[in-house]
Amino acid sequence: MADEPQHPPTIELDGARLRPLRAGDADALYAYLRDPAVTELTAYPVVSVPMVEAMIERSLSRWAAGELSKWGVALAHEDRLVGTCGFNEWSQPHRWAELAYDLAQAHWGKGLMRQAVAAVLRWTFRQDQVDRVHAFVRVDNRRSERFLERSGFVREGCLRSFRVCRGQPHDFYLYSLLRSDCATAQPDSSGSGRGATVIAAGAAKPVGEN
């Protein structure tokens, strides 16, 4: 009997939730990624509707194949997409995953993405399929650097001319967090005094090198 398609869990946060992306999220995703403040210090190409539709399809396809991928970050009271959080790549043989996240500018500075990243890391490390999570950040993206450092990531070094961003090569910092760094329970980062609640979960099925 063929394996059933896999899906990410829905994780309730304080005022928001992590949930699977949907084809119907394309308009909301396009709307906030068009904001230059959101993408100018990243490796995003010029944003278009076909691009965001392909992003959503890739996420859905990867989860369906049993691979780690991205969640949507949606407001709890209206389920409207305001961000994404999860993994661009996953190496099953080497047990690492590449973290990526984005958030509509109207929701910056409210602790929403910090909640989301903490919940993603907790869930991922508990699956016992990843020992290392790393992230690449442009060296001029101080907001993202501070965010990762507050989230417990360690800067490992600088990768020169690592990615071409809209036609220009840029240096990127490499940050990492190990499962062993999180061996003790992390405090709740939501500020609500309660942990995130997993509504439905299923471990990703290893399918090989990305």
pLDDT over threshold 60, residue 192: no
Q: pLDDT by residue (tens digit) across 48-87?
A: 999 999 999 999 999 999 999 999 999 999 999 999 999 9
- The helix, strand and coil proportions of the chain, stated in percent and rounded to the nearest 5, come to 30, 30, 40
Q: Helix 26-33 and helix 49-64: axis angle, to 10°? A: 120
pLDDT over threshold 50, residue 1: no
Q: In the prediction, which pLDDT does 199 show?
A: 53
Q: Give the residue among 103, 8, 19 at the shortest CA–CA distance from 61.
A: 8
Q: In the prediction, which pLDDT does 171 show?
A: 97
Residue 197's pLDDT band (boundaries 50, 70, 90)? Answer: low
SS3 call for 46: coil
Domain ranges for the chain, please list them: 10-186
Average pLDDT for residues 82-109, to the nearest whole number? 97
Q: In the prediction, which pLDDT does 7 show?
A: 76
Cα 47 off chain centre by: 18
| CATH class belonging to 10-186 | alpha beta
- Distance from C-alpha of 121 to C-alpha of 146, rounded to nearest angstrom: 17
pTM: 0.85
Residue 19's pLDDT band (boundaries 50, 70, 90)? Answer: very high
Q: pLDDT by residue (tens digit) across 162-171?
A: 999 989 999 9
Q: In the prediction, which pLDDT does 182 show?
A: 85
Mean pLDDT of the chain: 88
